[in-house]
């Protein structure tokens, strides 16, 4: 035996001694996520991680790095794609700069309740799966945020009331929407919202009751206008390379846990809508039903955005809208 063979024999002996079989070493997965721990998405992922550990008998353990602590939100997708981490979560519509079809769920007033959001996801899933597959990624599950509403420092009765307001945005579509209503958008990640308001970098935002309540919006705005403009989604993706390293039983266990996480996540999201809106109220925010005039103005802008999105989204966009049932 030469030295190398000796070393290998020793290592194999060690592995066997530790109760492992070579080739089936336990995988420990670092998972970057963009949102804080108290976010229902993060909590859902924590249950997913527990389920995976249990179902795989500890073969796969997932360590969550929340609130952009391991990778900043805009870098998470490429971190999984590049193999720096095997799994990660991000906001689906952030990828609309690569392909417009990823931005469907953030088109204003295209899908405005959970039934429509579900139908849209059913239409979007096969298209997204194909596109991500080309990049070596596989979607595991996707969960919507509650319907998006308008947070401001005064009552908003018409689109004109929003003119010139410094507006927080979280993706390119919302930035465009803000521009179209005459506001001045700035991109701000969720963990930075309180600071952005405190320093007057922004003075209004569109987001869910969850993110509003989690950010203690009552510290910096007075009105929440319940415009239910769209239900954007987060997605959890795994690197196909990392997934393929697992034996079939382990793979199946992860897919089963992912399916459960998707179902549970949608239910959590629905529950959040009323619970977190109540928390906004309890903390003194004036929760307003939007005026017909405001809604008409916003919907008109949404309709024009959808027309240009159709052009950008090309064949995939047409396929998606057809499956969704909109021409
Ligand atoms: N919260 C996230 C995305 C949508 C939402 O409700 C945010 O505000 O960035």
Distance 232 CA to ligand 1 centre (A): 8
Is the distance from the beta carbon of residue 178 to the nearest atom of ligand 1 less than 6 Å? Answer: no
Neighbours of 302 (CB within 10 A): 21
Spatial separation of the C-alpha atoms in residues 263 and 70, rounded to whole Å: 27
pLDDT tens digits along 32-41:
999 999 999 9
pLDDT tens digits along 246-302:
999 999 999 999 999 999 999 999 999 999 999 999 999 999 999 999 999 999 999
Helices (H), 59-110: 73-81
Spatial separation of the C-alpha atoms in residues 285 and 18, rounded to whole Å: 58
pLDDT tens digits along 95-131:
999 999 999 999 999 999 999 999 999 999 999 999 9
Query: Which residues, including other chains, have CB under 8 Å from residue 293's CB and lie 6 or more apart?
Result: 157, 158
pLDDT at 256: 98
User: To test the ligand 1 pocket, which listed residue (232, 234, 273) has its Cβ within 8 A of the most ligand atoms?
Assistant: 232
Query: To the nearest whole number, what is the mean pLDDT of the chain?
Result: 94
Structure tokens at 183: 């506001």
User: In the structure, what pLDDT confidence band is assigned to residue 20 with cuts at 50, 70 and 90?
Assistant: very low
pLDDT mean over 290-317: 97
Domains recognised in the chain with CATH numbers: 26-99+113-144+232-276 (3.40.190.170), 149-230+285-324 (3.40.190.170)
Is the distance from the beta carbon of residue 232 to the nearest atom of ligand 1 less than 6 Å? Answer: yes
Contact assessment for residue 92 and residue 131, using Cβ atoms and an 8 Å cutoff: no
**Phi-psi group of 148: left, alpha or beta (phi > 0 → left; psi -120 to 50 → alpha; rest → beta):** beta
**Ligand 1 atom, smallest distance to 146 CA:** 6
Beta strand 87-91 with 137-144: parallel, antiparallel or unpaired? unpaired
Spatial separation of the C-alpha atoms in residues 321 and 135, rounded to whole Å: 24
Contact assessment for residue 208 and residue 106, using Cβ atoms and an 8 Å cutoff: no
**Ligand 1 atom, smallest distance to 168 CA:** 8
Place of tokens 């999105």: 309
Q: Is the pLDDT of residue 13 over 50?
A: no
Distance 190 CA to ligand 1 centre (A): 7
pLDDT at 21: 46
Is the distance from the beta carbon of residue 208 to the nearest atom of ligand 1 less than 6 Å? Answer: yes
Contact assessment for residue 234 and residue 145, using Cβ atoms and an 8 Å cutoff: yes
Coil, strand or helix: which one is 140?
strand
Neighbours of 61 (CB within 10 A): 14
User: In the structure, what pLDDT confidence band is assigned to residue 9 with cuts at 50, 70 and 90?
Assistant: very low
User: In the structure, what pLDDT confidence band is assigned to residue 25 with cuts at 50, 70 and 90?
Assistant: confident
């Amino acid at each position: 035996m030469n030295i190398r063979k000796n070393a290998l024999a020793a290592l194999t002996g060690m592995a066997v001694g530790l109760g492992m079989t070579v080739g089936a070493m336990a995988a420990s997965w670092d998972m970057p996520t963009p949102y804080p721990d108290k976010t229902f998405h993060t909590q859902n992922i924590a249950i997913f991680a527990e389920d995976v550990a249990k179902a795989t008998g500890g073969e796969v353990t997932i360590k969550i790095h929340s609130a952009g602590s391991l990778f900043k939100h805009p870098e998470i997708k490429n971190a999984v794609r590049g193999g720096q981490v095997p799994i990660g979560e991000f906001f689906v519509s952030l990828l609309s700069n690569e392909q417009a079809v990823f931005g469907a769920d953030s088109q204003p007033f295209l899908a405005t309740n959970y039934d429509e959001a579900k139908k849209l996801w059913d239409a979007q899933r096969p298209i997204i799966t194909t596109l991500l597959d080309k990049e070596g990624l596989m979607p595991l599950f996707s969960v919507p945020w509650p319907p998006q509403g308008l947070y401001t420092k005064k009552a908003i009765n018409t689109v004109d009331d929003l003119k010139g307001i410094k507006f927080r945005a979280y993706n390119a579509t919302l930035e465009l929407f803000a521009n179209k209503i005459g506001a001045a958008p700035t991109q701000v990640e969720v963990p930075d919202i309180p600071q952005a308001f405190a320093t007057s970098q922004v003075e209004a935002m569109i987001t869910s009751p969850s993110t509003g309540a989690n950010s203690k919006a009552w510290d910096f705005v007075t009105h929440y206008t319940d415009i239910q403009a769209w239900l954007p989604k987060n997605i959890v993706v795994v690197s196909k390379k990392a997934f393929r390293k697992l034996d079939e039983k382990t793979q199946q266990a992860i897919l089963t846990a992912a399916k459960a996480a998707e179902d549970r996540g949608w239910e959590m999201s629905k529950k959040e809508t009323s619970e977190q809106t109540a928390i906004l109220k309890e903390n003194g925010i004036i929760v307003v039903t939007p005026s017909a005039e405001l809604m008409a103005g916003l919907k008109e802008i949404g309709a024009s955005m959808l027309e240009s999105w159709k052009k950008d989204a090309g064949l995939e966009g047409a396929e998606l809208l057809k499956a969704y049932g909109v021409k």
